Structure 1
Amino acid sequence: MNPQQYEKVKSASGFIAALDQSGGSTSKALSLYGIKPESYSGDQQMFDLMHAMRTRIMTSPVFNGDRILGVILFEQTMDREIEARGSADYLWSVKQVVPFLKVDKGLADEANGVQVMKPMPNLDSLLARAKGKGVFGTKMRSVVKHAEAGGIEDVVNQQFTIGKQILAAGLIPILEPEVDIHAPDKPGAERLLKAAILGHLDTLGPEQQVMLKLTIPTVDDFFADLVAHPNVLRVVALSGGYSREEANTLLARNHGVIASFSRALTEGLTAQQSEEAFNRALDASIASIYHASGT
């Protein structure tokens, strides 16, 4: 593990940019960016356009390690190049931004009020490849839709079981058990989730650390004991469907939690903008999320 990257993720101010939209969310992300589905044909063109969007963001002069700690990459992005370098190498060598990789294969159908992750049969080879390309850590997402203790335990158990596999490969896992912001009893789900996470943190060795990516809680500072936990490297928050302004306002009320926003980060960016307008909009977005992450 790169000690400079570890120190940056552990203690530097800033936030993590989630640029890991995958097959299911790529078309929607492109539409918000001003590229409609009728303007391209087939997955290959869609992913090429998405890579161009991500490249435009990551190569922008306003996008660098001064305010951005890390970037979560989609597997295809990791395997592509930015300015003639592998994406992960470009991020760290040129921008001083720590690269992470989304490793999950999507969500299983809802059961017991939750959606666990689909199986990841080739995870070990993917982790080895990622490490070889200079990736620091991973991210994987499941979703909690109802305050059901059994389902929430299933989600957390799966996250930690695979998290330990990722730790064994020499990478730092970001565990993301998202609570749906529209869950009927969101505070109840968050209480059950925190209890389950604390229980599983106790199964880690003293040197083992994970990161947690969580929905901004209903009760301010509800995750303070997770932020302070010795086995937690960093707690980051997802925007979860909130607008950027709303997500920033809620995030700022949670001390020690930083952003890992996706759609909220790219809100207001379009393919049609001039470079000057694009960079200005991206700069404003980064500045506002950086500020909200600083509390």
Structure 2
Amino acid sequence: MLDMSNQAQWDQVLAGKGFIAALDQSGGSTPKALKLYGVEEDAYDNDDEMYALIHQMRSRIVNAPCFTGDKVVGAILFEMTMDRQIGGKPAAQTLWEDHGVVPFLKVDKGLKDLHNGVQVMKPIDGLDALLTRAKTAGMFGTKMRSVVSAANFVGIKDIVTQQFEFGKQILAHGLMPILEPEVTISIPDKAAAEDMLLAEITAQLDSLPDDQKIMLKVTLPEKANLYQPLVDHPKVLRIVALSGGYDRDEANTRLAQNNGIIASFSRALTEGLSAQQDDAAFNATLSDTIDSIYAASVAG
């Protein structure tokens, strides 16, 4: 059963204006994220140093004056970020108490190889223990990602089934799951894959108990408002969209065309930020970015 004891966080996620920041780059994506931030691979010698540098970037974003619950509804964190401090306090505590931003935790352990046009998640060993830690740390919910790379009915059904199975396990810990079946933006049959995905998600939602809700994170669709039935579904708390490789302008344009969906951008959020910027330039760039993603999120 979902824990609704923190009504303020629940209200922020349900009705807050703005978007959810994706600050959950993990092992595979961290070097690329650092490079885009102006930190080359020769700046660190091992994983510990790499993760320390990405934590500095995330901390700088969170501590920026513009990073508040007025425009940032929530933030998705990597497990190591949850276990570290920002501003002298545990990360989740700082996000909510100091900034009014609701914390979520990335819980998946990466993807299996492509099969039937999709990549399902690898087993999440120790998930129950991780969820217990997340709850203790003050997390409101979780996020986990799969990838669709073809309009293959069998593969898409497998992905959605797996997402909902893990989602039910997460709900049992009193946490809100964000299910993320990403559709690769470059595939030629993207629209057909999205139609299949909509049908499968709807079927799974209809089978959920009436007292359960989930969240969804989707690729911005080829057909505007394709996911409106999910936005309106009584078992969906909120739908967010990933940028998926679109640059920020393209992502914002597509987002504004989809009513009721807000952003949850990663690359598009950090676009233009650099380790070499002084605080004034960094904060100004981030503020402009947050304003633009906020505007696109509330446009629909």
TM superposition score normalised by structure 2? 0.98
Deviations 1:172-214 (A, max 9, x none): 0000000000122000000000000000001111110000000
Q: Return the alpha-carbon distance in structure 1 between the equivalents of residues 284 and 55 of structure 2.
A: 21
Q: Return the alpha-carbon distance in structure 2 between the equivalents of residues 24 and 12 of structure 1.
A: 31
The amino acid across from 1:254 in the alignment is N
Determine the structure 2 residue equivalent to 1:13.
17
* Structure 2 residue 160 is matched with structure 1 residue 168: no
The amino acid across from 2:210 in the alignment is P
Q: Secondary structure at the match of 1:101?
A: strand
Determine the structure 2 residue equivalent to 1:146.
150
Determine the structure 2 residue equivalent to 1:47.
51
Question: Cα offset for 1:274?
Answer: 0.8
* Structure 2 residue 152 is matched with structure 1 residue 130: no
Q: Percent identity?
A: 59
Which among 203, 207, 227 is matched to residue 203 of structure 1? Answer: 207
Which among 33, 38, 45 is matched to residue 34 of structure 1? Answer: 38
Q: Secondary structure at the match of 1:213?
A: strand
Determine the structure 2 residue equivalent to 1:102.
106
* Structure 2 residue 269 is matched with structure 1 residue 260: no
Stretches of 4+ aligned residues off by more than 2 angstroms = none
Q: Secondary structure at the match of 1:141?
A: strand
Q: Secondary structure at the match of 2:75?
A: strand
The amino acid across from 2:23 in the alignment is L
Determine the structure 2 residue equivalent to 1:111.
115
Q: Secondary structure at the match of 1:229?
A: coil
Deviations 1:30-65 (A, max 9, x none): 000000001211101000000000000000111111
Q: Secondary structure at the match of 2:124?
A: coil
Q: Return the alpha-carbon distance in structure 2 between the equivalents of residues 120 and 94 of structure 1.
A: 31
The amino acid across from 1:243 in the alignment is D
The amino acid across from 1:149 in the alignment is F
Q: Return the alpha-carbon distance in structure 1 between the equivalents of residues 44 and 24 of structure 2.
A: 20
Q: Return the alpha-carbon distance in structure 1 between the equivalents of residues 278 and 182 of structure 2.
A: 35
The amino acid across from 2:68 in the alignment is N
Q: Return the alpha-carbon distance in structure 1 between the equivalents of residues 8 and 93 of structure 2.
A: 14
| Gapped regions of structure 2 (runs ≥ 5) | none
